[in-house]
Structure 1
Amino acid sequence: MHHDVIVLGAGLAGLSAARDLAAAGTDVLVLEARDRVGGRVEQTRTPDGRTVQLGGEVVGQGHTAYLQLAEELGLELIPSYVAEPGRMTRATPEGLSAGEPPHWFGNGDAAQHAELSREFGALAATVDPDDPWSHPDAAALDRLSVAGWLRSKQASPAVVRLWDIGQLALAGGSYERISLLAALRKSAAVPGSGTGDYDYEDWEGLRLASGSATLAEVMGRELGPRVRLGAPVAALGVRPGRCTVRLATGEILTAHAVVSALPVGPLRSVAVTGVSDARLASLHRQRQAVAAKFAAVYGDPFWRADDLDGLSESEGVLGSTWPQSEGILSALVAPERYGVLLGTPAHLRIPELLAEVAALFGDKALHPDACHLRLWGTDPWTQGYVTQWPPGEVMAVGPLHGTHEPPFYVCGSDQWVAGYMEGAVRTGRAAAKEALRRG
């Protein structure tokens, strides 16, 4: 059957694009490899009715496209873990501390950290997040890692360590291997307070009361039969007026235009013709951080008894924890530790992760009601987590990043600044708008 537009992928980006296309009267079909919508957002429920989020979870005041869509769908946003009272925990091989300063800080480290945060914010203000390539020092900033920049500013090893443990907590890759230009671009996209490289309130201060996957579920219900599940794409041929999509089953579908909302990893497995070599090279150059998410469900938030907020940064296999809701802890495994997790026998993975949580918050952590582990890095339909930008990568991917080559349109969290739910919604709606503009 011939359609106006075929959308590849029913994550937040694909669904956002398809929703706007359908609202404009377009005959749109969404193809999704999984047996559910949502992509990297997913959730389940506990027997007592609590929502457990297994994928993307939080947004912030700076995520305007996401907030707008949630409002359109009538979904309530509430404060996230950022509003949780108590002290943050940090764990390294030589010690554990709660609150500030970190246990490895010495005299002068806190003041130096604050000053370097201000300098980073000021430098970020000179970068256009939509066009970082126009910065007069773009190539030099891209060649330098964030850790390298810190050392060039005579940062102490303790300060470099604090910045890096915070970045590992976000599971985007160590600051030893993240481009300074990429980090500045990310900070400029959601400036926040301007006092550091990541403002938690503006990036993570809100969540959907009903769980982040509700956004995808509602859009999926709206689209109804326009979404086809269990339909992985094998090949795509692009030409004006008639694009061809071949499914893994061999079935052929055609459309006037195609919107790819596939993550960059799975997209490499699709044989694409009719798109310029330069555009494909930019897409195929992009990479995602290989990470995992872990969630542990408890009867109550027992960590509060010790004046802890459930938030942690760690140099263990778990890079971070945070309370996603009452009694439920989330955690991320950074790319640098993903191999350790995969090398652990499957039946020992959850017990060993729980032992790390117990080292942070006490032995009650060893006895959850349920646990969930999602190996995004080796899931064939994700092959990663957020966009990863090692030194030199912003310039290598180039200004074609996030652009379209009609009748081939691209969207997804990977096509925005930082790889986030905001990026999925923002680029999905932008792709639909551009496709409609071109008729």
Structure 2
Amino acid sequence: MSTHDVIVVGAGLAGLSAARDLVAAGADVLVLEARARAGGRVEQTSTEDGRVVQLGGEVVGASHTSYRSLVDELGLTLGPSFTDIPGESTWLLADGRHLGDDMPWLSSADRSLYDAIERRFSTLASSVDPDDPWAHPEAVALDRLTVADWLRSEGATPQVVRAMELRAMGLADASVERRSLLADLRKEATAGALGFYDYDAWESMKVLEGSATVALRMAEGLGHRIRYSSPVASIDVASGGAGQGGVKVTLQSGERCRGGDVICALPAGPLRDLRISGVSAEYLASVQRREHAPTAKLVTVYESSFWEGNGQNGTGYFERTLLGGTWVQNTGILSALVPVDRLGPYRALPAAAREEVLLAELGAAYGPEGARPTSTFVRDWHSDIWTQGYITAWRPGELTAVGPLHGTHEPPLWVVGSDQWVCGYMEGAVRTGRAAARELIAR
């Protein structure tokens, strides 16, 4: 049985960033990764002409300070994402296709109402402490209220609610009819309470070398400390006790390792699959109640960004389709997601037919060329056993049910990862991983 100062379970961005900082501080670290590769929900490949293709997480924004700092330390380069591409957005709605960045299908009265309600949302968001939303005097009531019900209570018309739903589907977020208002307020408070969803704050940048390069570069630096194809079955804190070098980690192969501390950096679903003993029932219940929204990702590669010739910028919002919308990943490359609310009909299709249906939707949005990419990639992250999801999702009542233990630790067990932050994203992985490492180093 090997013994280490710290065992890190999971070689995604959270686990790698924690391990990197701990190793730099002189700790003996072992990283156990179930997959045969590093990166978790970030993964990439390349086209024959050298364009990098992202199959998982891609973009960050101005509010993602921890991720941007790590990128700088690794000597990588941040550049603009899709948000500054000229042209008009595409709205593929029930009544046809509309082009325009400012929801051109909305009447002027509905647009004015949308803007007014957004200002009220920003004011309410500024009253929420993102680090302690449970302390808000109306926390329980705000958490039980759906975003859609709050919109209607503020006088939103069906078209305004529809606009919010379209934006939610474009992000592959949960429906506004099934999403906690408090969770949305907390999320936007983190970014400065700028509105419903400010793309500059959340998605205006990308790593030019590829987002998965962040993980790959950290993994390269950790070298032999990472053991791949080593899924973990259980973590037993009670076997030795805190601070005694006795936390036991058992792999699915039956092999055992021992560490002074264990950092668990798994997504919410795989984390629930672990057998964890020796921590308080309250902490374990909070950790295991976390949810995230599953999705499937489609990436299509074309010889060029042909849509620009049609005045389109590649950003799309789709209403009655399987895809929630599109954005430009790279020159001649579109990304798209199947939101959680549309996964049922997506999964009902025979696997061999899914790609054809998705490409037909791109054809409806961007013309016949959209349905004829030179290469197509589909990643069913929802059914990947080591992922089981995408971004964080909060149903009404869940944020207060999970409670203030969310995002905390019970040493010698440290739980990190994007799901332990406000709303997921790569920022959450890096932020929580490095924060746990700092605490461990300080001890």
Q: TM-score scaled by structure 2?
A: 0.97
Question: Which residues in structure 2 correspond to 1:30-179 (within 5 Å)?
Answer: 30-102=31-103, 104-179=105-180
- Tell me if the contact between 2:10 and 2:264 (Cα under 8 Å) persists in the aligned partners: yes
Q: Deviations over 1:62-104 (max 9, x none)?
A: 1000000000001000000001110001112222201055354
Distance between the aligned counterparts of 2:102 and 2:88, measured in 1?
Answer: 11
- Tell me if the contact between 1:104 and 1:158 (Cα under 8 Å) persists in the aligned partners: no
Distance between the aligned counterparts of 2:363 and 2:79, measured in 1?
Answer: 28
Q: 2:380 aligns with which of 354, 375, 379?
A: 375
Distance between the aligned counterparts of 1:293 and 1:127, measured in 2?
Answer: 32
Give the residue type in structure 1 aligned to 2:143: D
- Tell me if the contact between 1:95 and 1:103 (Cα under 8 Å) persists in the aligned partners: no
Distance between the aligned counterparts of 2:402 and 2:112, measured in 1?
Answer: 36
The 10-residue stretch of structure 1 (273-282 or 92-101) with the greater mean CA deviation from structure 2: 92-101
Does residue 311 of the first structure (1) align with residue 315 of the second (2)?
Answer: yes
Q: 1:264 aligns with which of 265, 268, 293?
A: 268
Does residue 236 of the first structure (1) align with residue 235 of the second (2)?
Answer: yes
- Tell me if the contact between 2:361 and 2:371 (Cα under 8 Å) persists in the aligned partners: no
Does residue 390 of the first structure (1) align with residue 400 of the second (2)?
Answer: no
SS for the counterpart of 2:300 is strand
Q: 2:257 aligns with which of 241, 253, 256?
A: 253
Q: Which residue of 1 aligns with 2:369?
A: 364
Does residue 293 of the first structure (1) align with residue 297 of the second (2)?
Answer: yes
Distance between the aligned counterparts of 1:412 and 1:360, measured in 2?
Answer: 35
Q: Deviation at 1:252?
A: 0.6
Distance between the aligned counterparts of 1:73 and 1:179, measured in 2?
Answer: 37
- Tell me if the contact between 1:29 and 1:228 (Cα under 8 Å) persists in the aligned partners: yes
Q: Deviation at 1:171?
A: 1.0
The 10-residue stretch of structure 1 (248-257 or 338-347) with the greater mean CA deviation from structure 2: 338-347
SS for the counterpart of 2:120 is helix
Which ranges of structure 2 fall in alignment gaps of 5 or more residues? Answer: none
SS for the counterpart of 2:59 is coil
Q: Which residue of 1 aligns with 2:404?
A: 399
Distance between the aligned counterparts of 1:159 and 1:32, measured in 2?
Answer: 45
SS for the counterpart of 1:244 is strand
Q: Deviation at 1:378?
A: 1.1
Q: Which residue of 1 aligns with 2:288?
A: 284
- Tell me if the contact between 2:235 and 2:274 (Cα under 8 Å) persists in the aligned partners: yes
Distance between the aligned counterparts of 2:374 and 2:189, measured in 1?
Answer: 41
Give the residue type in structure 2 aligned to 1:340: P
How many percent identity over aligned positions? 53
Distance between the aligned counterparts of 1:261 and 1:164, measured in 2?
Answer: 31
Distance between the aligned counterparts of 1:305 and 1:191, measured in 2?
Answer: 36
Q: Deviations over 1:112-157 (max 9, x none)?
A: 0111111111110000000000111111100101111000011000
SS for the counterpart of 2:365 is helix
Q: Deviation at 1:106?
A: 2.8
Q: Which residue of 1 aligns with 2:224?
A: 225
SS for the counterpart of 1:347 is helix
Distance between the aligned counterparts of 1:418 and 1:101, measured in 2?
Answer: 26
- Tell me if the contact between 2:98 and 2:105 (Cα under 8 Å) persists in the aligned partners: no
Q: Deviation at 1:27?
A: 0.2
Give the residue type in structure 1 aligned to 2:352: H
Distance between the aligned counterparts of 2:294 and 2:62, measured in 1?
Answer: 27
Does residue 339 of the first structure (1) align with residue 344 of the second (2)?
Answer: yes
SS for the counterpart of 1:399 is coil
How many residue pairs end up in the alignment? 436
Distance between the aligned counterparts of 2:57 and 2:101, measured in 1?
Answer: 28
- Tell me if the contact between 1:409 and 1:435 (Cα under 8 Å) persists in the aligned partners: no
Distance between the aligned counterparts of 1:376 and 1:294, measured in 2?
Answer: 11
Question: Which residues in structure 2 correspond to 1:188-227 (within 5 Å)?
Answer: 188-191=189-192, 194=194, 196-227=195-226
Q: Deviation at 1:14?
A: 0.2
Distance between the aligned counterparts of 2:59 and 2:101, measured in 1?
Answer: 24
Question: Which residues in structure 2 correspond to 1:14-29 (within 5 Å)?
Answer: 14-29=15-30
Give the residue type in structure 1 aligned to 2:65: T
- Tell me if the contact between 1:317 and 1:340 (Cα under 8 Å) persists in the aligned partners: yes
Distance between the aligned counterparts of 1:255 and 1:100, measured in 2?
Answer: 53
SS for the counterpart of 2:324 is strand
SS for the counterpart of 1:372 is strand
Distance between the aligned counterparts of 1:182 and 1:270, measured in 2?
Answer: 26
Q: Deviation at 1:228?
A: 0.6
SS for the counterpart of 1:234 is strand
Give the residue type in structure 1 aligned to 2:423: A
Q: Deviations over 1:169-226 (max 9, x none)?
A: 111210111100000000000126x2x2111011000000011000000000000001
Q: Which residue of 2 aligns with 1:351?
A: 356
Distance between the aligned counterparts of 2:391 and 2:227, measured in 1?
Answer: 25
Distance between the aligned counterparts of 1:91 and 1:302, measured in 2?
Answer: 18
Q: Deviation at 1:357?
A: 0.5
- Tell me if the contact between 1:96 and 1:103 (Cα under 8 Å) persists in the aligned partners: no
Q: TM-score scaled by structure 1?
A: 0.98
SS for the counterpart of 2:269 is helix
Distance between the aligned counterparts of 2:256 and 2:307, measured in 1?
Answer: 54
- Tell me if the contact between 1:191 and 1:199 (Cα under 8 Å) persists in the aligned partners: no
Q: Deviations over 1:342-379 (max 9, x none)?
A: 11111111111010011000000121111111111111
Which ranges of structure 1 fall in alignment gaps of 5 or more residues? Answer: none
SS for the counterpart of 1:171 is coil
